[in-house]
Amino acid sequence: MRALRVAVALAALMTSVLAVSWPAPAAMASDPQCPSPPPPHDGVGWSWTPDSGNYAYGVRAPIKLRTDGLLCILNGSDTEGAFSAVWIGIVKQSGGFTDIVQIGFIHDRNAQGVSEWCRFWFSPSQTTAQDYNCGDADGTQVYFKIETSSGLQPYYVISDCGTGGDFTNCTTMSGNTPAWNADAVQVASEADYDCVIRMMGQGSNRVWYGNSSWAVSIKDLNGYSKNRNWVAGSPRCSSDYTGDNAGGGLLRTWDSRNTS
């Protein structure tokens, strides 16, 4: 069994905090204080690594948004925004986790410091998350995919295929990351400020990756298949960050602290 990649991908190295004083943004009264310095990222998810000679050419899945969870209140000296995100992605494998392309939903703060939920994508050239389409309603299912383009130099093409129920009407968000020789697929719910932040989803209303019509499917040399051997990662916040594999490419995550 290949080594788990989710924990590596989700574990950020300790950062050096710049001694810059900023006013803290307005925040919900119930949000906890963010720890300082910020701890590594954490999350719950799954990884699939192709066998030798095979590649991860793509991944696609509808993700069902849950507009819940809690962020934390930044200190005046914090330099990293608080967020949680649910996504599908392809990671670079060589030399351990070094890069990723991803797309999904993100929970962060708007200009007034209030929680908002947006779609987002990320590619290495961007450095930060790229939010868009902020304002989807709870329960919205968006069909996301990442595929490798054809040609002498293949690129990872990150696409949003909307809410129409399939992957036929897609908008390309990014296509400038050269495909890696060794890659793997990941599906995850992630947060920074480790465990202080409540991720999206609750036990009775989970974040879904895949549905009864379109399971999470991975494209390799043989094409797309939902029948993949997912390897689950172990979050540090194991008492609260929860996920389960319902089988057949249906994956779910939630935070046990969220209630209606």
Partner 1 sequence: MVPLKRYAFSGTVVVGVLVTGALAGCGTRQLAHGESASSPRNSAVVKISGGTIFAPAPLGARPTLTAQQAWAMYTKVNTSYRTAAIPDNVSVQLGLLTLPVGPIGAGGSETYLAHNELVYGYSWHSCPVFTAPVSTIPPNPCVEWNFLNADTGRQVVQTWQMNR
The binding site for partner 1 (CB under 8 A) comprises 9-13, 15-18, 20-23, 25, 40-41, 74, 78-83, 85, 87, 97, 99-100, 102, 106, 108-112, 114-118, 120, 122-135, 149, 151, 153, 155, 157, 171-177, 190, 192
Residue 176 CA to residue 54 CA, distance in Å, equals 22
Tell me the three state secondary structure of residue 167: coil
Instruction: Give the residue with the Cβ less far from partner 1, 173 or 231.
Output: 173
Residue 75 CA to residue 83 CA, distance in Å, equals 15
CB 139 within 8 A of CB 157: no
How many other CB atoms are found less than 10 A from the CB of residue 160? 20
Residue 191 CA to residue 200 CA, distance in Å, equals 10
Per DSSP (E only), the strands in the chain are: 42-48, 58-64, 84-92, 100-109, 115-122, 130-132, 141-148, 155-160, 171-178, 183-191, 207-209, 217-220, 223-225, 231-232, 241-247, 250-255
Nearest distance, CB of residue 240 and partner 1, angstroms: 20
Instruction: Give the residue with the Cβ less far from partner 1, 100 or 215.
Output: 100
Nearest distance, CB of residue 184 and partner 1, angstroms: 14
Nearest distance, CB of residue 235 and partner 1, angstroms: 14
Nearest distance, CB of residue 98 and partner 1, angstroms: 10
Nearest distance, CB of residue 221 and partner 1, angstroms: 21
Instruction: Give the residue with the Cβ less far from partner 1, 76 or 203.
Output: 76
Residue 85 CA to residue 128 CA, distance in Å, equals 13
Instruction: Give the residue with the Cβ less far from partner 1, 188 or 231.
Output: 188
Instruction: Give the residue with the Cβ less far from partner 1, 50 or 104.
Output: 104
